[in-house]
Chain A
Amino acid sequence: MTERAPALLLPAWVAQVALVALLGGCASKPQGTVVLLPDGQSRDTAVLVKQDGGELLLDKPYAAAQLTSRGPAAQQSSAEQVQAQFGAALAARPLPPASFTLYFVEGRNEFTAESRRDFDAVFTEIARRPVPDLVVIGHTDTVGSATFNDNLSRQRADVVRNALVARGIAAERIVVVGRGEREPVVPTADNVAEPRNRRVEIQVR
C-alpha cells in the first residue's frame, strides 16, 4: 500500500497540471484595453474598436473593450480603474489649447474695447505654458465669394499676427490660417453681414 501511494498521487498531480493548462488555453490572452472617457464638452463621442474576431462601439463614459484573440469583450470601467492603469499617460497630457476670440471695430483694423482686454489675456496664457505655440485663425461672414473670404480671413489673421509680434512673440511660433466663411459662430444664409462672424481666433497651445 505504501509503495502504491506515489502511483496514485501521480495521476492527480498530472490532472492538476493538465487542468491549469486547459484553463489557460481556454481563457484568451489579454492583448490590451480601450476605455472611452467622459468628454468635458459633452460632444458626441465614440470609438469603434475593430479586431479580427469582431467589432465593438464604445459610446458611453467608461465603456471599455478588453482586447482578446477572440475579439473585443465589452466591459464597464471606472475613473479609479483608468487612473490605476493609465495615470502616468494622463498625467503627461499637454494642457488643452486655450482659445481667444477677437472682434474688430467695423471697417477698421482695430480691436473693440472688450477684445483689447482679451488680447492682454492671451499673454497671461502664453506665460503659463513651457513651450507655447500659437495658431491665429481668421473668419469672415458670408458676404462675398468663398475665395474672397478665404483671402479676407487670412488678412485679418495677419493683422493679429503682426500685433502679437509687435508685443514680442517670435514670428516662427505663430501659424496663421484663413478659415474663410467655413466656421461661422452664427450660421446664416449666403451674403449676410454678421459682425459676430467677422472675428479672429487665437489658440495658445
Chain B
Amino acid sequence: MTPFHRTRCAALLLAAWALPAWADIGQVKTRKGQVTVERQGQPLPVEVGMVLEAADTLKTGPDGAVGITMRDNSLLSAGPNSILSLQRFEFDPTTSQGRFDAQLQRGTLAVVSGRIARQSPQAMTVRTPAAQLGVRGTDFVVSADD
C-alpha cells in the first residue's frame, strides 16, 4: 500500500465515520394530520421523533402541520397544504458557523432562527417561488401563494 493509498483509505474511513453526524440535521417534534417527507424521491410517512436529512422535502395535507427543531436550534413549523424543502444545512456546533437554505414552495411557514443566523447574519436564507428572505433574526412568518 502506497502512502497515497493509505491517505485515501483514511479519508474514506473518516468520511464514512463523519457521515451520520452530518446526515442528522434536525428532528420532527410535532405533527398533526397527514405529513410526508420526500427523501431521495421516495415519500415516507412522518412521525414525531423522525430524524431529518439535508435535501428532505416535507409535505403537509389539507389537515396537516409539522414542527421541526434543527441542530442549530432553529424552529420551523409549516401549516396545511405546505411544501418545505430543507435544501442545505451545514453547522459546526463548536464555532456556530454554518449555512441554512430552506425553500417554502407552497403554504405557510413560521420560523425562529437559531445559532447559524446569530453567528453570521448572511448565513440563513428562506426562499419562496416569489422572494428570497435574508434572515437576520429571529421570529417571522411567510406564505407562498399558488
* Chain A residues packing against B (C-beta within 8 Å): 30-41, 43-51, 58, 65, 67, 69, 72, 82, 85-97, 129-131, 133, 135, 137, 150, 175, 177-180, 182, 203, 205
Distance A88 CA – B108 CA, assembled complex (angstroms): 9
**Secondary structure of the B contact surface, majority rule:** strand
Alpha-carbon distance between A148 and B46 when the two chains are bound, in angstroms: 42
Contact of A49 among B27, B49, B95, B131 (CB under 8 A): B131
Mark out the residues of chain B between 18 and 32 whose CB falls within 8 Å of any chain A CB in the assembled complex.
Answer: 27-32
Partner of B30, one of A58, A92, A96, A177: A92
Across the interface, A150 reaches (CB within 8 A) one of B94, B131, B135, namely: B94
| B residues at A contact (CB < 8 Å) | 27-32, 48-49, 65-69, 71, 73, 75, 77-80, 82, 93-96, 108-110, 112, 128-145
Q: By CB atoms of chain A within 10 A, which of B71, B78, B94, B132 has the most?
A: B94
Q: 26 A-B Cβ contacts within 8 A?
A: A30-B145, A33-B141, A33-B142, A34-B141, A39-B139, A43-B138, A45-B139, A47-B133, A48-B133, A51-B132, A67-B131, A69-B130, A88-B80, A89-B78, A89-B109, A92-B32, A92-B78, A92-B79, A93-B75, A93-B110, A96-B73, A97-B69, A130-B49, A175-B93, A180-B94, A203-B73
| Residue of A whose beta carbon sits closest to that of B113 | A45
Task: Assess the B136–A46 pair: CB atoms within 8 A.
Answer: yes
**By the criterion CB–CB under 8 Å, are B139 and A31 in contact?**
no
Set B29, B75, B112, B131: member contacting A32, Cβ < 8 A: B131
The answer on a CB contact under 8 Å between B78 and A178 is no
Q: How far apart are B32's CB and chain A's nearest CB, in angstroms?
A: 6
Contact status A47-B134, CB under 8 Å: yes
Residues of A contacting B48 in the complex (Cβ-Cβ under 8 angstroms)? 130-131
Bound together, the chains give a CA A35 to CA B108 distance in angstroms of 11
In the assembled complex, which residues on chain A have CB atoms less than 8 Å from the CB atom of B79? 86-89, 92
Q: Are B130 and A67 in contact (CB under 8 A)?
A: yes
- Describe A's contact surface by its main secondary structure: mixed
A47 touches B135 (CB 8 A): yes
User: In the complex, how many angstroms separate the beta carbon of B28 from the nearest chain A beta carbon?
Assistant: 8
Minimum C-beta distance from B121 to chain A (A): 9
A86 & B67 in contact (Cβ 8 Å cutoff): no
Report the separation of the CA atoms of residues A55 and B27 in the bound assembly, to the nearest whole angstrom: 33
Q: Are B69 and A205 in contact (CB under 8 A)?
A: yes
Task: List residues of chain A with CB within 8 A of the CB of B66.
Answer: 92
* A-chain residues with CB within 8 Å of residue B77 when the two chains form the complex: 89-94
Contact between chains at B137 and A39 (CB < 8 Å): yes
Structural contact, A45 and B137, CB atoms closer than 8 A: yes
Q: Closest Cβ of chain A: how far from B26's Cβ, in Å?
A: 10
Which residues of chain B are within 8 angstroms of A205 by Cβ–Cβ distance? Answer: 27, 29, 69, 73
Query: Which of B48, B112, B141 has the most chain A CB atoms closer than 10 A to its own CB?
Result: B141
User: How many Å from the CB of B5 to the closest CB on chain A?
Assistant: 30
Which residue of the partner chain A has the closest CB to B78?
Answer: A89
B69, chain A: closest CB distance, angstroms: 5
In the complex, which residues of chain B have a beta carbon less than 8 angstroms from the beta carbon of A175?
Answer: 71, 93
Q: Are B94 and A179 in contact (CB under 8 A)?
A: yes
Tell me the nearest residue of chain A to B80, going by C-beta: A88
CB distance from A73 to the nearest CB of B (A): 12
B93: chain A residues at CB < 8 Å are 135, 137, 175, 177, 179
